[in-house]
Structure 1
Amino acid sequence: MDYSKSLLLKVAELYYNQNMNQQQIGDKLKISRVKVSRLLTEAKNKGIVKIDIIYPKDNCLELERELEERYNLEEAVIISARDKSKDVVYSEVTSAVAQFLEEKVNKNDIIGIAWGRTLKKVANRIREVNKEVRIVQLLGNIGSSDVSGDIIVRTIANSFHGSIHLLPTPAIVDNVEIKQAIMSDGNVSNIFAIQKQCSLAIVGVGVVSEKSTLALSDYLNQNDLSLLKQDGAVGEVCGRFIDKHGNVCETPVNDRVLGIDIKDLAEIPCVVAVATGDEKVKPIQAVLNTGAINVLVTDENTARRLL
């Protein structure tokens, strides 16, 4: 056996069986790290090294790839629904988002948080990790609701040992004049400025329905809902109502929202949407069509319907 093949085997042995990194191998064999990398690639191409991935039966990798391609996502995280109840699936989806945050969030990041039942569950599942991040509220408050953005912001900030930037306004006000007056306040405008500095945001997906939290909390009345449906609204994100194509509806309701604009949301480097369930399929499609979402976390059944 010539030296070239011997070197190939030696590099593969050191890397895969002795767990040495490429720089350590280069130092040991007196070759460059670049050559080590090239030899490792050559070893795989020649069949000297074969790598088998043992996929668990409940993996959804193919479904994730299809979803990423269809909706131009950077990442899709899909929880298997095989032999599981809806409650178990929902619990695993929210746990996955919490783990995503624990993994992806870096020290000193600015994280934007929307509102909703699902994000409240996510917030409660995040382990205590000292990240020293800043958490900013993306939509005004939903009255005394426990799924309001301010409560979720406080919960996540406690887990990450972070500071908070609360948006001290209602989510939706009665008219544009009130909104303009509130926006003229320096503290409020400062929060909107911080929103634009976010490196990551987590948002839920809302429905346009009498059973939605905004309707049940009296932020939307029957006339508002009728106008939204007439304008083609099928979903909501950060209080903004959108049609099936992902366009913000030309409706007076959107003019009264005190929260981040879709165009500003789209400028955030990583925006994660989380939603599950049959009733959320059309709203999720609409939100994905805005182009503002980079990552979707959902369940297997919802993902198949999205495709």
Structure 2
Amino acid sequence: METTDWAAVQRIVPELMGVLQNRLRILQRVNALAPIGRRALAQAMGQSERTLRSELDALKQQGLLLTSTSGVTLSTEGLTLLRQLEPVAAALAGRSDLAWRLSQALAVANVIVVEGDSDVEPWVTERIGSSAGELLIDAIRDGDVIAVTGGTTVAALAKSAPVRSGLRDIQVVPARGTVGETVAYQANTIAAELAEKLGGRSVMLHIPDSLSQKALEQLLEDPYIQQRLPVIRSATVVVHGIGDALAMARRRHASDAELALLTERAAKAEAFGHYFNAYGEVVYAMQTIGLRLTDVDRSRLVVAVAGGASKAQAIAAVAQAYRIDVLVTDEGAARRLLQMKSELDM
């Protein structure tokens, strides 16, 4: 049913649309947070337990929810139905229009906007990952080399991506070396998990992300690196997060001098070891081994995932720096980005 058709239905039975939207939100929250108890779900929904109980009972009677001692989860039928109704939910909530306007503003062909703001509600990161994972699984072809960066949102993608069988000769590789100390969010870990979902194989890159010139030269002569680097740089699909410039520099334990340089040059975003200003210009590049911007440009599909109003400047910067085919973000970032665009046009 088209958006205009839903608008006509809403005029006739507005109460029906309210029930539909509420139940869709419940299914979305359960999908993101499961297993979750009723009290915690009521708090996440901003509803009383009494109100929520009747809705959960109705959804359970329809076979869409399962309950256990650990909490509520979606049934297989519930998950299938939710995926079918995601476009409806987006249209009813105005996110389809939001995504279209953001696509025009950023010149990104395909934009998906999920509910919420991950700066405020951490579960929204899981929704971004889930939406991006479903899109990615459908887009993969036999023989693809998929490069992934680290980070919480890309990790959420790998965790929630559906299993897909029947693909041949799939490789999943880390785009770069290790950043941070949380193993679950490192590119090697994410590559291994996603490869398992796809029935493919993963390639590991056990090196630090930031290197001195001497270490870089030595590693480039290492047979271990020489074997893996050409595979990584032949990526046909790239999935990456987008980082705030100074936040990423601090995660890499940048020196005070480097932080001062990034501030002086007005760095707004980091991706693939490059720091960009608001115009998408490279203002600083790290010594790193892995995927280069030229490799990204040669790939068939580039998927970016990032959410939260605080990431708006970073998203805007990288959208001007290189080609992004798909951006999956949230309402918080989308609305802030459009506000920034409106302020610039004034």
What TM-score do the two structures reach when normalised by structure 2? Answer: 0.65
| Residue type at the aligned position of 1:181 | Q
**Aligned match for 2:243, one of 196, 206, 211:** 206
Whole-Å Cα distance in 2 between the matches of residues 204 and 54 of structure 1?
A: 27
Whole-Å Cα distance in 2 between the matches of residues 77 and 230 of structure 1?
A: 34
* Structure with greater helix share of residues: 2
Q: Find the counterpart in structure 2 of residue 215 from structure 1.
A: 250
Determine if the alignment matches structure 1 residue 119 to structure 2 residue 154. yes
Whole-Å Cα distance in 2 between the matches of residues 189 and 227 of structure 1?
A: 32
Whole-Å Cα distance in 2 between the matches of residues 263 and 54 of structure 1?
A: 38
Whole-Å Cα distance in 2 between the matches of residues 265 and 90 of structure 1?
A: 24
Q: Relative to structure 1, is the Cα distance of residues 126 and 196 closer, same or farther in structure 2, using a 3 angstrom cutoff?
A: same
Q: Retained in 2: the 8 A contact 1:140–1:170?
A: yes
Q: Relative to structure 1, is the Cα distance of residues 230 and 222 closer, same or farther in structure 2, using a 3 angstrom cutoff?
A: same
Query: How far does the alpha carbon of each residue in 1:105-140 deviate from its partner, in whole angstroms, 9 at most, with x for none?
Result: 123211111111111111111222223411111111
Q: Find the counterpart in structure 1 of residue 82 from structure 2.
A: none
Q: Retained in 1: the 8 A contact 2:232–2:290?
A: no
Whole-Å Cα distance in 1 between the matches of residues 233 and 290 of structure 2?
A: 12
Cα offset for 1:246? 1.1
- Secondary structure of the 1:289 match is helix
Q: Find the counterpart in structure 2 of residue 159 from structure 1.
A: 197
Q: Relative to structure 1, is the Cα distance of residues 102 and 185 closer, same or farther in structure 2, using a 3 angstrom cutoff?
A: same
Q: Find the counterpart in structure 1 of residue 343 from structure 2.
A: none
Q: Retained in 1: the 8 A contact 2:179–2:209?
A: yes
Q: Relative to structure 1, is the Cα distance of residues 97 and 54 closer, same or farther in structure 2, using a 3 angstrom cutoff?
A: closer
Q: Find the counterpart in structure 2 of residue 259 from structure 1.
A: 290
Q: Find the counterpart in structure 2 of residue 184 from structure 1.
A: 221
Cα offset for 1:145? 2.6
Whole-Å Cα distance in 1 between the matches of residues 256 and 288 of structure 2?
A: 17
Q: Find the counterpart in structure 1 of residue 80 from structure 2.
A: none
Whole-Å Cα distance in 2 between the matches of residues 149 and 170 of structure 1?
A: 11
Q: Find the counterpart in structure 1 of residue 72 from structure 2.
A: none
**Aligned match for 1:193, one of 202, 222, 230:** 230
Pairs within 5 Å for 1:53-64: 56-64=91-99
Whole-Å Cα distance in 1 between the matches of residues 330 and 306 of structure 2?
A: 8
Pairs within 5 Å for 1:59-70: 59-70=94-105
Identity %: 22
Q: Which runs of 4+ in 1 moved over 4 A?
A: 53-56
Q: Retained in 1: the 8 A contact 2:177–2:209?
A: yes
Whole-Å Cα distance in 2 between the matches of residues 193 and 136 of structure 1?
A: 11
What TM-score do the two structures reach when normalised by structure 1? Answer: 0.73
Whole-Å Cα distance in 2 between the matches of residues 88 and 177 of structure 1?
A: 42
Q: Find the counterpart in structure 2 of residue 137 from structure 1.
A: 174
Bigger radius of gyration, 1 or 2? 1
> What is the RMSD of the two structures over their aligned residues, measured on CA atoms?
2.4
Structure 1, unaligned stretches of length 5 or more?
1-52
| Residue type at the aligned position of 1:223 | A
Whole-Å Cα distance in 2 between the matches of residues 259 and 195 of structure 1?
A: 7
Query: Would you say how many aligned residue pairs link Structure 1 and Structure 2?
Result: 247
**Aligned match for 2:323, one of 292, 298, 302:** 292
Q: Find the counterpart in structure 1 of residue 111 from structure 2.
A: 76
Q: Find the counterpart in structure 2 of residue 106 from structure 1.
A: 141
Whole-Å Cα distance in 1 between the matches of residues 233 and 268 of structure 2?
A: 26
| Residue type at the aligned position of 1:288 | A
Cα offset for 1:222? 2.8
Q: Find the counterpart in structure 2 of residue 37 from structure 1.
A: none
Q: Retained in 1: the 8 A contact 2:235–2:295?
A: no
Q: Find the counterpart in structure 1 of residue 308 from structure 2.
A: 277
Q: Retained in 1: the 8 A contact 2:309–2:334?
A: no
Q: Retained in 2: the 8 A contact 1:176–1:255?
A: no
Pairs within 5 Å for 1:39-50: none
Structure 2, unaligned stretches of length 5 or more?
1-86, 339-346
Q: Retained in 2: the 8 A contact 1:267–1:292?
A: no
Whole-Å Cα distance in 1 between the matches of residues 88 and 278 of structure 2?
A: 39
- Secondary structure of the 1:233 match is coil
| Residue type at the aligned position of 1:289 | Q
Q: Find the counterpart in structure 2 of residue 245 from structure 1.
A: 279
- Secondary structure of the 2:243 match is coil
Query: How far does the alpha carbon of each residue in 1:72-105 deviate from its partner, in whole angstroms, 9 at most, with x for none?
Result: 21211111339xx623433211110111122211
Q: Retained in 2: the 8 A contact 1:81–1:89?
A: yes
| Residue type at the aligned position of 1:239 | G
Determine if the alignment matches structure 1 residue 303 to structure 2 residue 334. yes
Query: How far does the alpha carbon of each residue in 1:163-185 deviate from its partner, in whole angstroms, 9 at most, with x for none?
Result: 11222321001x21211221222
